[in-house]
Amino acid sequence: MNDLLRRQRALQKTLAKYRGKPFAWGRADCLRMVRSHLVAMRRRGLPKVPRYRSVLGAKRALKATGHANLEGLLDSLLPRIAPAEMLPGDVALMGGDEHFDAITISVGRKVFGFHQDAEGAVVMTPHEIKAAWRA
């Protein structure tokens, strides 16, 4: 199957599952969304993420994967690319709150993810992409 077609199908699946879904630690958050997307992209060898229901639990779950932050976790799973090289379906790390940065998914010139000012997951214009990875 053509790579761009595979990306588009996985992205549509992710958008359908998470668009408008309210943020909930451990059920509908950026880590769960991106892991689900990578499964749809047929990525193999993804670690299981322990259950959590709070920011503290999310920090413990991240630590259980052997990484201090989301950037380290993504570096261990995917090849890093320049943000300008992102294709639809690639993963981007953006600034978040005092607890975590935000992981988003490229949908072209915009990204899909959770934003503090939105009711649920939305497509938004990225202001600062800290790092990007090929999905």
Task: Give the pLDDT confidence of 19-45 residue by residue, as tens digits.
Answer: 999 999 999 999 999 999 999 999 988
**pLDDT for the residue numbered 56:** 94
Say which CATH topology domain 3-133 has.
Answer: endopeptidase fold (from Nostoc punctiforme) (3.90.1720)
Lookup: tokens for 84: 């300008």
Lookup: tokens for 52: 């959590």
**pLDDT for the residue numbered 96:** 81
CB atoms < 10 A from the CB of 67, how many?
A: 16
H-helix or E-strand spanning residue 74: helix 70-77
Cα 16 to chain centroid, rounded = 15
Dist CA 34 CA 31 (whole Å): 5
Nearest to 59 by CA among 96, 107, 22: 96
What does pTM read for this prediction?
0.93
**pLDDT for the residue numbered 80:** 98
**pLDDT for the residue numbered 47:** 84
DSSP string, 17-37: HHBTPPPBTTTBSHHHHHHHH
CB atoms < 10 A from the CB of 113, how many?
A: 25
Residues in the chain with pLDDT values less than 70: none
CB proximity list for 10: less than 8 A, separation 6 or greater? 37, 40, 41, 42, 89, 135
Please state the domain extents for the chain: 3-133
**pLDDT for the residue numbered 97:** 80
**pLDDT for the residue numbered 50:** 85
